[in-house]
């Protein structure tokens, strides 16, 4: 009898996850979706989200972009009051019956519940490669970190608070050294011999506010130069002499919200000279970039990860004086959730590959998505990329690629801000040890739940020749987690954790 009941429960679950195959009028409804829903991004399929998410979150957000601010007695968010109101048509570009047909297409064919992740190797409970070290100071606030950085020259650890705008420094024993106010939303920190650069994104929450790249003296007490300003919620920047004039230029990803841009700033000389801005892409969503000579012509090319709606990788060939027209290397659907990447030659063929993560789950009520995880895209030598490996991780945030165990191949360390807390909370941190032949052994560490890991950096923190990992926690009450996790985070309030590599010990 018990087996029969379990069989009935399985059938009910499959019925909830499986959408109907078709319905009368589906072809006409799909034609409308193809006309209006792929004008800005790849056409999404109904199975990418569940019915509730489509109905209650996606369509009310998409409506204003098509000039629809009220439908079926419901007010959609009126974004026209924003400074970038030009993005929203004054009049609807389609009729109410047409909009109803598009809604019908997605909500009819979408599953009631998203299916689970594909089968994968179990995450081992405690890797012996890393030893967790906790702070030796009391932290008074719930941590909301947007930045962690390892200073290898000084053997120090830095972390930045998103909302309070504070930057802290500790030594490798996790003893607090000092703190300084740097402004809200510090997201990137880069060192050189005479100080450091700091990128502030402004508000941590979705907005179209502006921020910039600041230059600081070594003590970090105050900025000495403003290197780029007026950036739309920037998330990443690069420094490089892009036009061979002997001066360091900048590439900035203005992620934005509705408005944004990707720009490179030409250094025209020391202050008071101002950098000259060269727009590359006037759309929101540029989240990370990298410089690499993909075409081997001696000039650095620019690889950019675009998130938001029109997700994918764009390659801008370097010209020696800037960049030429981009080529889209990889295209993803608008719910993919792209958020980070690394470059590495994973198969040793001499061609640079891409390791990318997609797990952003904060645009609406978080739901588990079976396409979230870390992927390896191999380069065929002509800069054509294809997926070779996928490890499912719910709500993955970032992955770092390095030879952590010093055995000659590349491993992957990943964190997830939206793991499946009910079944596999170990996804919060996963170390994927490379076993060869495209096989990886996943493991975590015993205190993986000591924080809600939002940011990560990897470098040799203690100078012993192996790579350590610094994790930063972000505890926001707007994102749900089971009560036991919340209770632990509120008690411990650990802003950071150092995973000390034991390879050299």
In DSSP notation, 83-134 reads TTGGGS-SS-SS-HHHHHHHHHHHHHHS-SSPPPPPP----BS--SSEEEE-
State both tokens at 311.
Answer: 């997700």
φ/ψ of 227, rounded to 5, equals -90, -30
Whether the full predicted model's pTM is greater than 0.85, yes or no, is yes
Q: What pLDDT is recorded for position 226?
A: 67
CA–CA separation, 91 vs 322, rounded Å?
Answer: 39
Query: 104 near 29, Cβ under 8 Å?
Result: yes
CA–CA separation, 77 vs 61, rounded Å?
Answer: 7
Q: Is 13 helix (H, G, I), strand (E, B) or coil?
A: helix
The total number of residues written for the chain in this structure: 505
- Per-residue burial over 400-416, b = 16 or more CB atoms within 10 Å of its CB, e = otherwise: bbbebbeeeebbbbbbb
Strand-pairing partners, residue 124, are 443
Neighbours of 31 (CB within 10 A): 12
Query: 454 near 146, Cβ under 8 Å?
Result: yes
Q: What pLDDT is recorded for position 360?
A: 94
φ/ψ of 443, rounded to 5, equals -150, 160
Q: Are strands 210-216 and 186-192 parallel, antiparallel or unpaired?
A: unpaired
**What are the average pLDDT values for consecutive 10-residue runs of the chain, which has 505 residues?**
38 44 86 85 92 93 88 75 64 92 96 93 94 92 95 96 93 94 91 89 64 76 70 91 93 90 91 87 96 96 94 97 96 96 96 97 88 98 97 97 97 97 95 95 95 97 96 82 88 95 86
The Cα-based distances of 91 to 88, 97, 257 in angstroms read 9, 15, 22
Q: What pLDDT is recorded for position 193?
A: 84
CA–CA separation, 206 vs 115, rounded Å?
Answer: 29
Q: Is 321 helix (H, G, I), strand (E, B) or coil?
A: coil
């Amino acid at each position: 009898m018990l087996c029969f009941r379990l069989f009935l429960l399985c059938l009910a679950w499959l019925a909830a996850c499986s959408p109907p195959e078709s319905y009368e009028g589906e072809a006409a409804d799909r034609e409308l979706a193809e006309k209006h829903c792929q004008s800005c991004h790849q056409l999404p399929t109904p199975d990418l989200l569940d019915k509730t998410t489509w109905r209650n979150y996606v369509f009310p957000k998409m409506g204003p972009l098509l000039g629809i601010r009220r439908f079926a007695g419901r007010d959609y968010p009126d974004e026209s009051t924003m400074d970038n109101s030009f993005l929203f048509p004054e009049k609807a570009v389609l009729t109410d019956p047409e909009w109803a047909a598009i809604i019908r297409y997605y909500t009819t064919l979408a599953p009631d519940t998203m299916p689970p992740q594909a089968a994968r190797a179990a995450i081992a409970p405690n890797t012996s490669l890393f030893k967790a070290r906790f702070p030796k100071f009391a932290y008074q606030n719930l941590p909301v970190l947007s930045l962690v950085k390892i200073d290898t020259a000084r053997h120090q650890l830095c972390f930045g608070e998103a909302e309070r705008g504070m930057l802290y420094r500790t030594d490798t024993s996790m003893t607090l050294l000092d703190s300084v106010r740097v402004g809200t939303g510090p997201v990137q920190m880069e060192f050189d011999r005479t100080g450091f650069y700091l990128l502030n994104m402004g508000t941590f929450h979705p907005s179209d506010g502006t921020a910039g790249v600041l230059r600081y003296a070594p003590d970090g007490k105050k900025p000495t130069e403003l290197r780029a300003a007026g950036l739309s919620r920037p998330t990443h920047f690069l420094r490089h002499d892009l036009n061979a004039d002997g001066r360091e230029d900048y590439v900035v990803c203005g992620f934005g919200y509705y408005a944004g841009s990707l720009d490179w700033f030409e250094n025209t000389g020391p202050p008071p000279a101002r950098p000259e801005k060269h727009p590359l892409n006037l759309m929101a969503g540029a989240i990370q970039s990298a410089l690499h000579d993909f075409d081997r012509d001696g000039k650095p090319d620019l690889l950019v990860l675009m998130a938001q709606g029109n997700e994918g990788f764009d390659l801008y060939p370097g010209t020696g004086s800037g960049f030429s027209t981009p080529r889209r290397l990889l295209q993803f659907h608008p719910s993919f959730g792209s958020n980070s990447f690394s470059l590495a030659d994973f198969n040793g063929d001499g061609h640079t590959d891409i390791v990318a993560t997609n797990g952003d789950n904060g645009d609406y009520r978080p739901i588990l998505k079976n396409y979230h995880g870390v992927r390896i895209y191999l380069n065929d030598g002509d800069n054509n990329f294809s997926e070779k490996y996928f490890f499912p991780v719910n709500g993955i945030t970032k992955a770092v690629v390095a030879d952590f165990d010093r055995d000659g191949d590349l491993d992957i360390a990943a964190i997830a801000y939206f793991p499946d807390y009910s079944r596999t909370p170990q996804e919060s941190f996963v170390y994927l040890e490379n076993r060869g032949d495209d096989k990886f052994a996943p493991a975590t560490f015993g205190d993986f739940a000591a924080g809600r890991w939002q940011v990560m950096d990897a470098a040799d923190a203690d100078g012993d020749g192996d790579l350590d990992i610094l994790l930063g926690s972000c505890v926001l009450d707007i994102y749900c987690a089971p009560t036991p996790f919340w209770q632990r985070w509120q008690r411990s309030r650990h802003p950071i954790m150092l995973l000390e590599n034991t390879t050299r010990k």
